[in-house]
Amino acid sequence: MTRRPVNILFLCIGNSARSILAEAILSRFGPGRFRAFSAGTQPRGGIHRLTLELLTTLGIPTHGLRCKGLQEFAGAEAPVMDAVISVCDETTADAFPALPGSPVAVHWGIPDPAAIDWDDAASRAAFLEAYLSLHGRISRLVALPFGALDREALRDRLEEIGKTA
């Protein structure tokens, strides 16, 4: 019997930087085992140019990435999520509506790289820092034995990961 991939939704306000980075990282780490998604509670309408620039520089595919609203994941036709991970301090795990399948919801606060806009070098450094933080956490996420964890254990492990630097 084949188990379906683990569906993870990364959530943020604008869905233009952190959540897109997380979606791209998990998509690269876990093809076949994981399906990564991202959304915003107030999507900006486009992906931040430095998000795309960084991913391209690192050789991470950007095809198919787009800015999406949370409502895409709330309907009956939406994929059922196993976990929703809020990656910004402005959107905590308890601040969004119930989604199909009642996924585990946790919060991983990552500073907003798009908020650093006083010069290009500082902006690029902020995006790289956000990427590295997400990369480290997601590498721990993919090592979890999802099939062996009950709901509470999964939440605990994901929250633990969110507290790592």
pLDDT digits (tens, 9 = 90+) for 119-134: 889 999 999 999 999 9
The residues that bridge with 39 in the sheet, in sequence order, are: 11
Is the sign of the CA dihedral 68, 74, 76, 79 positive or negative? positive
> Token pair for residue 70?
């949370």
Which sequence spans correspond to the domains of the chain? 6-162
78-121 pLDDT tens trace:
899 999 999 987 766 555 667 777 899 999 999 999 888 778 89
CATH 3.40.50.2300, applies to 6-162: yes
Contact 39, 15 (CB under 8 A): yes
pLDDT of residue 75: 80
- Integer CA distances (angstroms), 133 to 58, 72, 127, in order: 15, 27, 10
pLDDT of residue 1: 40
pTM beyond 0.85, yes or no: yes
